[in-house]
């Protein structure tokens, strides 16, 4: 039951979960049109996007469909050409940079790798928004860092310098840094890309745990649609800068969707659990 965007625009004013119960949104993008300052081309055009409170939402879509751009707008890294973004009902602009960083943390896709900083020092940087210019580390900071390191499971790497870590360990260290920020909303841009399968699971399990134990709202861009389908509470499927569909994975993931936005032929099985079995690419793929 793939709904098109136009059909659902109105009903999505109040979003519902699988049982038809209304869900609060932590983050709402309203009437967003996004473009980069260097060009006039509109990258993303979407009437409304909701990131439901206390749930894990996965953004999926092919390369260049505007997922990262959308995430940048949701995290105040990119000012929308039109439209507003609200967090817990208040527009992003009403927060100072530091206040916002206490509400919302973001992990970018590419992190410049600094060789000579230890994992622990990196995680302490996550406390930046909680500290004043001259303030030193408080007990609270210390505890937050301990919690973050434990949750990410990188206690044994503490004293290791970032340059000596593998890609997967590095990603866990960066995740620990945003965990130390202790925000209610966490946005992650492709945290599992380029990782081996073990570390992919470590990252996803950490995110899931964070969501279940602390009720943190999470939006995460994932490349692997079958992984996203199994992992997330909600999916947002994007195509060509527009919202293709939105909802729980069982509703969103269909063979039609896979053909439409990813250009692949695939079988989707719903029993015993949602499974995507990709078969081959479709020849008439739009470019």
Partner 1 sequence: MAEAQSIGGQTSVQKQGGRAGWVTGRLVLFCLASMAVTVVAGLVQVSFGEYSMTISEAWHAVFNPNVLFNLDAWSAFLFGTELPGMSTASIVVWNLRLPRVFVGIIAGATLAVSGAIFQAVTRNELASPFVLGVSSGAGFAVLATLVVFSGLSPFLPLIAALGGTVAFVVVYTIAWKGGTSPVRLVLAGVIVNMVFQSLQQGLFFFADDLGVVQTAVAWLTGSLTGTGWDEVRIAIVPAIVSIAIAVAGARQLNVLLLGERTAQSLGMRVERVRFFLSAVAILAASVAIAVAGIVSFFGLVVPHIVRNTVGGDYRRLMVGCLFAGPALLVTADVGARLALSGTQLPVGVVTGLLGGPYFLYLMRKQQSMGEL
Site string for partner 1, 24-63 (x = CB under 8 A): -------------x--------------------------
Beta bridge partners of 87: 27, 90
Site string for partner 1, 134-173 (x = CB under 8 A): x-xxx---x--------------------x----------
Shortest spacing between CB 49 and partner 1, in angstroms: 19
DSSP string, the chain: ----HHHHTTGGGS-B-TTS-B--EEEEEEEEEE--TT-----EEEEEEEEETTSEEEEE--TTSSHHHHHHHHTTSS--SEEEEEETTEEGGGS-HHHHHHHEEEE-S--PPPTT-BHHHHHHHTTGGGS-SS----HHHHHHHHHHHHHHT-GGGTTSBGGGS-HHHHHHHHHHHHHHT--SEEEEESTTTT--HHHHHHHHHHHHHHHHHH--EEEEE-S-HHHHHHH-SEEEEEETTEEEEEE-HHHH--HHHIIIII-EEEEEE-SSS-EEEEEEE-TT---
Identified binder of partner 1 from the candidate list 54, 129, 153, 278, rule CB under 8 A: 129
| 113 interacts with partner 1 by CB under 8 A | yes
Identified binder of partner 1 from the candidate list 126, 168, 241, 249, rule CB under 8 A: 126
Identified binder of partner 1 from the candidate list 27, 101, 123, 220, rule CB under 8 A: 101
| 108 interacts with partner 1 by CB under 8 A | yes
| 65 interacts with partner 1 by CB under 8 A | no
Identified binder of partner 1 from the candidate list 18, 64, 77, 140, rule CB under 8 A: 77
Shortest spacing between CB 103 and partner 1, in angstroms: 10
Q: Give the tokens for residue 183.
A: 């925000």
Identified binder of partner 1 from the candidate list 4, 18, 98, 279, rule CB under 8 A: 98
| 80 interacts with partner 1 by CB under 8 A | no
Identified binder of partner 1 from the candidate list 24, 82, 93, 128, rule CB under 8 A: 128
Shortest spacing between CB 113 and partner 1, in angstroms: 7
Q: How far is CA 230 from the centre of its chain?
A: 15
| Residues in contact with partner 1 by the rule CB under 8 A | 37, 75, 77, 97-102, 105-108, 111-117, 121-122, 124-126, 128-129, 133-134, 136-138, 142, 163, 178, 181
């Amino acid at each position: 039951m793939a709904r098109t965007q136009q059909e659902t625009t109105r009903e999505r004013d109040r979003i519902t979960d699988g049982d038809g119960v209304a869900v609060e949104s932590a983050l709402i993008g309203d009437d967003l049109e996004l473009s980069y300052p260097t060009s006039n081309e509109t990258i993303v055009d979407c009437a409304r996007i909701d990131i439901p409170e206390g749930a894990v939402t996965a953004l999926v879509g092919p390369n260049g469909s505007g997922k990262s751009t959308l995430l940048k707008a949701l995290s105040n890294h990119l000012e929308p050409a039109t439209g507003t973004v609200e967090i817990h009902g208040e527009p992003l602009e009403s927060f100072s940079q530091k206040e916002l960083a206490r509400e919302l943390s973001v992990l970018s896709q590419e992190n410049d790798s600094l060789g000579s900083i230890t994992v622990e020092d990196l995680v302490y940087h996550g406390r930046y928004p909680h500290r004043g210019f001259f303030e030193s580390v408080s007990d609270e900071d210390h505890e937050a860092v301990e919690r973050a390191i434990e949750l990410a499971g990188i206690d044994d790497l503490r004293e290791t310098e970032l340059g000596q870590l593998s890609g997967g360990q590095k990603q866990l260290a960066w995740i620990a840094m945003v965990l130390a920020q202790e925000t209610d909303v966490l946005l992650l841009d492709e945290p599992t890309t380029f990782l081996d399968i073990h570390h992919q699971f470590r990252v996803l399990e950490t995110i899931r745990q964070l969501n279940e134990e602390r009720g943190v709202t999470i939006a995460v861009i994932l490349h692997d649609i079958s992984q996203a389908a199994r992992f997330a509470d909600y999916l947002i499927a994007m195509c060509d800068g527009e919202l293709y569909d939105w909802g729980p994975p069982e509703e969103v993931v269909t063979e039609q969707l896979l053909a439409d936005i990813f250009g692949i032929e695939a079988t989707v099985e719903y029993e015993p659990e949602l499974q995507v079995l990709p078969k081959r690419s479709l020849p008439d793929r739009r470019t």
